[in-house]
């Protein structure tokens, strides 16, 4: 592929990220209590959790910038604690804020980063040009990075994470500050990198976007990762669907009629986008739609009110007794 200039095929085995029982305390406060997850090579995994749930803390430990209190981490088989150099050579890190050299241009910053990865001056210059094109920074590449807009800084930060064509990519809120076109390019770029074998872990609050981009999701709440069983149970729970009709009164009448509103369907309310109903599962959603159409309701929009990840996230972080409680780190301090 075009932007793999550094070969690290040897370092790619065993590939991906493996985290087991990791915790991290700051004094008496646990920022992370128990994180267990894997990110296989060639896939994008979403890291989802409320503010303060430990996402950045976890990513910092994967990126060799923080030591775990307990547990083990392996990046392509290497331990970030005992082999930080080897991990840094194969890992790209995009932090949530760009800590760049403010007076250097984007191009110079990328070239300098390339030199730090031991590229020759020529290699670093070629790589910087490639990345500027890749992240659509052409028009801003020669301005000092301090004058870049937030979205442009994000793109520079992404470009910098990719300088050495890492086999493992860690991104903390990469989409924040990006306009819709830049978000779409980010999605495409991450899919392409995963297609080339990169293991990607990406934290974000834009869950609808992650739905389209991620192969798997890790949910963090209160410093703990949810187990696959908890995630499956939350994903399968009853959810809200939104219905819009060209004739709202006809919809209201049909929903109120016996046989439509029953054990399976419950009207939750009406908002500016339509009527929200609680539906037990997809089969009852299909039955409801069928019933509405039979009754002559001109339905023009019918679908889940939130995406899969958002639904699972909301369900997991509600007080459900699933074991991962809603995050309230202030209360636990
Ligand atoms: N250096 C530190 N010293 C003390 N507490 C910390 C430190 N770093 C993080 N914490 C605490 O650990 C918890 C997890 O923080 P972290 O930044 O990992 O959350 P996050 O999931 O990235 O949140 P956000 O969505 O807001 O970015 C928070 O309660 C935070 O206050
Ligand atoms: Mg964070």
CB 22 within 8 A of CB 70: yes
Is pLDDT of 3 > 80? no
Nearest CA to ligand 1 atom 31: 52
What is the C-alpha to C-alpha distance for residues 312 and 221, in angstroms, rounded to an integer? 12
Residue 136 φ/ψ region, left for φ over 0, alpha for ψ in the -120 to 50 degree band, beta for the rest? left
**What's the confidence (pLDDT) of residue 311?**
80
- Does ligand 1 lie within 6 Å of residue 204's CB atom? no
Alpha-carbon separation of residue 288 from 213, 243, 248, 273, 280 (angstroms): 30, 10, 16, 19, 11
pLDDT band for position 118 (cuts 50, 70, 90) = very high
pLDDT band at 324 (very low <50, low <70, confident <90, very high): very low
CB 122 within 8 A of CB 129: no
| Ligand of minimum distance to the alpha carbon of 24 | 1
The position carrying tokens 């978000």 is: 183
From the CB of residue 330, how many other CB atoms can be counted at a distance below 10 Å?
A: 7
Read off the pLDDT of residues 275-294 as tens digits, 9 standing for 90 and up.
988 888 888 888 889 989 99
Cα-to-centroid distance, 48 and ligand 2 (Å): 10
User: Which residue ranges form the domains of the chain, and what is each CATH number?
Assistant: 10-225 (3.40.50.300), 233-313 (3.30.70)
How large is the C-alpha radius of gyration of the chain? 23
Nearest CA to ligand 1 atom 7: 26
What is the per-residue pLDDT across 16-36, written as a single tens digit (0 to 9) for each?
Answer: 999 999 999 999 999 999 999
Any idea which ligand is nearest the CA of 27?
A: 1
Which residue owns the Cα nearest ligand 1 atom 28?
Answer: 52
Highest-scoring range by mean pLDDT, 55-64, 94-103, 243-252: 55-64
* SS3 at position 156: helix
For 164-177, what is the mean pLDDT? 93
Look at residue 105 and tell me whether its pLDDT is greater than 60: yes
Work out the pLDDT band at 323, boundaries 50, 70, 90.
very low
56 CB under 6 A from ligand 1? yes
pLDDT digits (tens, 9 = 90+) for 182-232: 888 889 999 999 999 999 999 987 787 788 789 998 999 888 998 877 887
Counting every residue, how long is the chain? 333
> Is any atom of ligand 1 closer than 6 Å to the C-beta of 23?
no
Determine the Cα–Cα distance for residues 176 and 169; give it in Å rounded to an integer: 17
121 has pLDDT over 80: yes
Q: What is the pLDDT of residue 67?
A: 97
Question: What DSSP letter does each residue of 116-135 carry, written as one string?
Answer: HTT--HHHHHHHHHHHHHHT
- Indicate which atom in ligand 1 lies nearest the CA of residue 57: 18
pLDDT in tens, 245-281: 999 999 988 888 755 555 567 788 888 888 988 888 8
Q: Given a cut of 90, is residue 151 above it in pLDDT?
A: no
Beta strands in the chain (DSSP E): 17-26, 29-39, 43-48, 70-75, 91-94, 168-172, 199-203, 216-221, 224-225, 239-245, 265-271, 274-279, 299-304
Q: What is the mean pLDDT of residues 103-127?
A: 94
Q: Give the closest ligand to the alpha carbon of residue 48.
A: 1
Q: What's this model's pTM, rounded to 2 decimal places?
A: 0.81
CB-based contacts of 293, cutoff 8 Å, min separation 6: 299
Q: Given this model, what pLDDT does residue 258 score?
A: 56
- Closest-CA residue, ligand 1 atom 11, reads 31
């Amino acid at each position: 592929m075009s932007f793999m200039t550094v070969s690290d095929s040897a370092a790619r085995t065993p590939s991906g990220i493996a985290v087991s029982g990791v915790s991290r305390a700051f004094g008496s406060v646990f920022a992370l209590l128990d994180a267990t997850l894997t990110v296989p090579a060639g896939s994008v995994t979403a890291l989802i959790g409320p503010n303060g749930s430990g996402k950045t803390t976890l990513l910092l430990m994967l990126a060799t910038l923080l030591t775990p209190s307990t547990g083990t981490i392996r990046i392509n088989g290497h331990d970030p604690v005992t082999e930080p150099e080897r991990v840094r050579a194969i890992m790209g890190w995009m932090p949530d804020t760009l800590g760049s050299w403010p007076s250097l241009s984007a191009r110079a910053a990328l070239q300098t980063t390339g030199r730090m990865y031991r590229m020759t001056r020529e290699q670093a210059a070629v790589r910087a040009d490639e990345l500027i094109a890749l992240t659509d920074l052409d028009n801003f590449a020669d301005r000092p990075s301090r004058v870049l807009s937030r979205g442009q800084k994000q793109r520079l930060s992404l470009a910098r994470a990719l300088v050495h064509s890492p086999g493992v990519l860690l991104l903390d809120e990469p989409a924040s500050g990006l306009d819709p076109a830049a978000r779409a390019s980010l999605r495409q770029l991450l899919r392409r990198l995963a297609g080339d074998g990169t293991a990607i872990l990406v934290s974000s609050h834009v869950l609808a976007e992650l739905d389209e981009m991620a192969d798997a999701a890790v949910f963090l709440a209160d410093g703990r990762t949810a187990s696959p069983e908890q995630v499956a149970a939350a994903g399968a729970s009853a959810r809200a669907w939104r219905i819009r009709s060209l004739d709202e009164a006809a919809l209201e009448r049909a929903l109120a009629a016996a046989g439509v509103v029953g054990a399976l369907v419950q009207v939750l309310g009406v908002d500016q986008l339509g009527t929200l109903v609680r539906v037990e599962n997809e089969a009852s959603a299909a039955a409801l739609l069928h019933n509405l159409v039979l009754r002559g309701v001109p339905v023009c929009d019918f679908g889940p009110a939130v995406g899969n990840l958002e639904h699972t996230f909301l369900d997991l972080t509600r007080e459900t007794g699933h074991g991962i409680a809603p995050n309230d780190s202030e209360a636990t301090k």
